């Protein structure tokens, strides 16, 4: 019997390995394709709702920074590319969405600034922030800190730069970013008028 076993051809281990590797590759490829289709389907089903939620948040922030009955989008054609959108709030003034990412700690910071018809800040809300929790995130969480901007005009600076805005302790960069955004909004309104 040992001769019969010895004479049988052995299967080549490399061929078995290649075959199972091919099956594994095809299986993983099929799983990835199915996952991609499911994710694409979920995105297409939820994209409109996400957009509506974001617009609702934006409208809520607009009402907080400058109360008005209507907000009509206006075309801002000025030089400041950080102005994302501008809205005329009737006779009350303007509301501007400003990207402050270049001046933030995390690289993600956008604000909504209300500017009264007299050219002073009526309010500031943080729309999006990825600043450090407990430090820069305070800009979004603390309404009393943002209230410092109300009534300001011209160039707005933090106290460490000779201005009137008290910096958030441990988050001077975020404080400067918001102040730079507020200054940009005030300048944009001056251009719009």
The per-residue DSSP string of 22-77 comes to HHHHHHHHHHHHHHHHHHHHHHHHHHHHHHHHHHHHHHHHHHHHS--S--EEE---
> Does a structural domain hold residue 4?
no
Domain range for 23 is 10-54
- In this predicted structure, what is the pLDDT of residue 9? 56
Q: How far apart are CA 166 and CA 113, in angstroms?
A: 18
| Whether residue 48 is found in the same domain as residue 75 | no
Assess contact for 73 and 86: CB atoms under 8 A.
yes
Q: How far apart are CA 129 and CA 144, in angstroms?
A: 17
> Does a structural domain hold residue 5?
no
- pTM across the whole model: 0.69
Domains identified in the chain, total number: 2
> Does a structural domain hold residue 75?
yes
- In this predicted structure, what is the pLDDT of residue 43? 86
| Whether residue 183 is found in the same domain as residue 88 | yes
Assess contact for 146 and 125: CB atoms under 8 A.
yes
- In this predicted structure, what is the pLDDT of residue 5? 53
- In this predicted structure, what is the pLDDT of residue 3? 55
Token couple for 33: 């394709």
| Whether residue 15 is found in the same domain as residue 47 | yes
Residue 94: enclosing H or E segment and its boundaries? strand 93-99
Assess contact for 82 and 181: CB atoms under 8 A.
yes
How would you write the pLDDT of the chain (193 residues) with one tens digit per residue? 555 555 555 555 555 666 788 888 999 999 999 999 999 888 888 877 777 777 778 888 889 889 888 899 999 888 888 999 999 999 999 999 999 877 766 677 889 999 999 999 999 998 887 666 766 667 777 888 899 999 999 999 999 999 999 888 887 888 899 999 999 999 999 998 8
> Does a structural domain hold residue 60?
no
3-class state of residue 165 by DSSP: strand
């Amino acid at each position: 019997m040992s001769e019969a076993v010895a004479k049988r051809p052995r299967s080549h281990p490399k061929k078995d390995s290649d075959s199972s590797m091919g099956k594994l590759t095809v299986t993983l490829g099929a799983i990835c394709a199915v996952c991609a289709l499911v994710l694409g389907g979920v995105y297409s089903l939820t994209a409109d709702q996400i957009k509506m939620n974001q617009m609702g948040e934006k409208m809520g922030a607009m009402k907080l920074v400058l109360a008005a009955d209507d907000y009509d989008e206006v075309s801002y054609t000025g030089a400041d590319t950080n102005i994302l959108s501008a809205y005329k709030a009737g006779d009350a003034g303007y509301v501007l969405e400003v990207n402050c990412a270049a001046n933030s700690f995390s690289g993600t910071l956008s604000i909504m600034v209300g500017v009264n018809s007299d050219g002073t800040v009526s309010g500031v809300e943080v729309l999006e922030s990825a600043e450090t929790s407990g430090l820069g995130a305070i800009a979004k969480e603390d309404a009393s800190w943002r209230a410092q901007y109300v009534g300001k005009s011209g160039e707005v600076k933090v106290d460490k730069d000779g201005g009137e805005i008290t910096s958030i302790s441990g988050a001077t960069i975020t404080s400067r970013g918001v102040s730079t955004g507020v200054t940009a909004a005030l300048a944009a309104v001056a251009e719009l008028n």
